[in-house]
Structure 1
Amino acid sequence: MNDNIVLDAAGFAFGVRVYRAPEPCGAALVWLHGGAFMFGDLDMPEADAVARSLAGRGISVVSVDYTLASLEGAVGLPGPEEFEGLDEVGGLPDPGEAFRVRDDPRAPFPVASLQTVAAFDWAVAQAAELGADPMRIALGGASAGGNLAAGAALRLRDRGAVTPSALLLAYPVLHAQLPPADASLLAALEGIPVALTFPPESVAAINANYLAGADAGDPYAFPAGGRLHGLPPTLLLTAERDRLRSSAEAFAAQLIDAGVDAAVTRAPGALHGFLNEPASPASARAVDRMVAAVA
């Protein structure tokens, strides 16, 4: 049975959907969908299918419906028509899911970041009802949700209260400006329409829209710019044909330099957003790794 619950943080109401494991293993995950900070909801596969899969394997999931940023930064981004005919590539989200526009109030950083902390705190307080130990609550997200999860983990570390048992970041964007792509990444992007390769200028526009004038150097906004010591064991799930993997891989190196237990896995042939294709081998393997990291 899943419950939709309304919480409040940073001056905005937001929702969480709770997926209770029928046979809990004692661990839980607070999970955030992606969508360039502007799109996405709890029904997209990256949120719903992932949560159902984990709950079916003993991990209760709290999926966070955080307040989205303004749509102003969507100007110039690829629309649904640019996804047509690309099913054979794999890993792309369904256009109807990726570009669904919602009527909810919108707000820039730090609203969603603070809501992520509030959702984690709520999960810790409700750990018994989730069938979990409060010290075994992990935190994670995909794409923009991975950014929010990592930033919230820094907030929780700095606050000095209960912190996540693990951090799960699927194809996240962790830098305000993407690190350079190496030759192997550039080669992997060949054959993909330019608009769908997350060119650095498009990512910069998305990130600036999310910040809405806030400091891009704020580590709670883009964690790669911060001190990473003391973060929990971190799993980074990347896609081979994803321009954003330069961010995840650079972040993993920073974590290791900071003494954090970090592991990176790369899904061969997959594109950004592959968790939106639950039947794909990349998604199935990623869920397996998430279960192992949390449980």
Structure 2
Amino acid sequence: MNDHGFHPDLAARMERSTGPELLSEPFGPPEPWELRIEDRAIEGPGGALRLRIYRPVRDAADRPCLVWLHGGAWVGGDLDMPEAHETSRGVAGRADAVVVSVEYRLCGENVHFPAPVDDVVTAYRWVREHAAELGVDPARVALGGASAGGNLAAGASLRLRDEGETPWQALLLYPLVHAPLPEPSDELAAALAKVPTALSFPAHLIDQVFAIYLDGAPVGTASPYAFPGHAEDLRGFPPTYLDNDEFDQLRGSGERFADQLRAAGVEVEQVTSPGVLHGHLNLVGLDVAHATLDRMAARLGLR
């Protein structure tokens, strides 16, 4: 780490640029996992729902499974972005597990909450119903996601709990689960002050994506399935791995959610990934991203 606390590889790029383009190039080659990767469309609430299934080459039964959701502020992202594709490859390879990446509906003019959550619940139930075909243990299907995908994973987990189908685990990576965002702690505020403006989320942009997600409804009226950090009762939420980025405005939401879960008696493993900005799973080849994938795989190895 340098004097500012940023990862040295990020700091080196910041010396050359303070725009988003500094994160667009890989920090190293993709990992060489040998997997069977299959795209499949299933029937979803809004029509065809596309899944990308990652399976180890060796046939086996009763593997753990992660249903995975990329980020993108509910309005962007796809199955090809590193946070989806490289994360799915890395977890499946490390854990000898099946990963099912979900192309949930993105929000826009005609798509709003609860459509993406409906898609996630549909994908989760499909995986459990087709567990034998996929070589998956139906009792070990985890639900996880990053950023907006972490929000959807948490919201879907809460809904599934209420409907008697609590997932095995929740893996939440730098999630946004409160609206508005909690006020940052003094320590987080000091960290955020070091982040270049071009790499921060302006308040008006956060408000815009909230409005798109909720179709203009006030955040204070939103369902807890939209922002699970406002749920009145989190008892029975699945055991949770929660990983926040050190230099990230969303860290306050993830940290508060971890506290709320513990207060509700939920087992929580909480990590702050050091030296990185929001979205570190998109940083192909970065050692911090590899360390996160190691921890995610270890969670899938639990019994």
TM range (shorter): 0.7 to 0.9
Structure 2 counterpart SS, 1:56: helix
Work out which of the residue numbers 97, 122, 125 in structure 2 matches 1:121.
Answer: 125
Structure 1 counterpart SS, 2:56: coil
Other-structure match for 2:83: 46
CA distance in 2, matches of 1:144, 1:156: 18
Work out which of the residue numbers 242, 245, 248 in structure 2 matches 1:242.
Answer: 248
Structure 2 counterpart SS, 1:221: coil
CA distance in 1, matches of 2:118, 2:235: 21
Deviation at 1:20, TM superposition (A): 1.0
Q: Which runs of 5+ in 2 are unaligned?
A: 1-35
Larger Rg: 2
Letter matched to residue 183 of structure 1: D
The answer as to 2:296 corresponding to 1:293 is no
Deviation at 1:274, TM superposition (A): 0.5
Q: Once the two structures are superposed, what CA deviation does each residue of 1:174-231 show, in whole Å capped at 9, x if it has no partner?
A: 0121000112112212332324322444323211211103463311111111121101
Other-structure match for 1:221: 226
CA distance in 1, matches of 2:162, 2:203: 30
Structure 1 counterpart SS, 2:289: helix
Q: Once the two structures are superposed, what CA deviation does each residue of 1:120-171 show, in whole Å capped at 9, x if it has no partner?
A: 001111212322210000000000000000000011111113x211100111
Q: TM-score, normalised by structure 1?
A: 0.84
CA distance in 2, matches of 1:200, 1:234: 28
The answer as to 2:248 corresponding to 1:211 is no
- Number of aligned positions between the proteins: 260
CA distance in 2, matches of 1:113, 1:280: 30
Q: TM-score, normalised by structure 2?
A: 0.82
- Output aligned runs, 1:164-183, within 5 Å: 164-183=167-186
Structure 2 counterpart SS, 1:29: strand
Other-structure match for 1:255: 261
Contact 1:22–1:55 (8 Å) recurs in 2: no
CA distance in 1, matches of 2:279, 2:294: 17
| Runs of 4+ deviating beyond 6 Å | none
Structure 2 counterpart SS, 1:264: strand
Letter matched to residue 115 of structure 2: V
Q: Which runs of 5+ in 1 are unaligned?
A: 73-105
Letter matched to residue 221 of structure 1: A
Other-structure match for 2:13: none
Contact 1:33–1:47 (8 Å) recurs in 2: yes
State the Cα RMSD in Å: 1.6
- Output aligned runs, 1:136-175, within 5 Å: 136-161=140-165, 163-175=166-178
Work out which of the residue numbers 274, 278, 284 in structure 1 matches 2:284.
Answer: 278
CA distance in 2, matches of 1:129, 1:108: 32
Other-structure match for 2:199: 196
Identical columns (%): 48
The answer as to 2:51 corresponding to 1:16 is yes
The answer as to 2:90 corresponding to 1:64 is no
Q: Once the two structures are superposed, what CA deviation does each residue of 1:211-269 show, in whole Å capped at 9, x if it has no partner?
A: 10346331111111112110111011111000100000000000001110112100111
CA distance in 1, matches of 2:93, 2:294: 12
CA distance in 2, matches of 1:218, 1:188: 31
Structure 1 counterpart SS, 2:83: coil
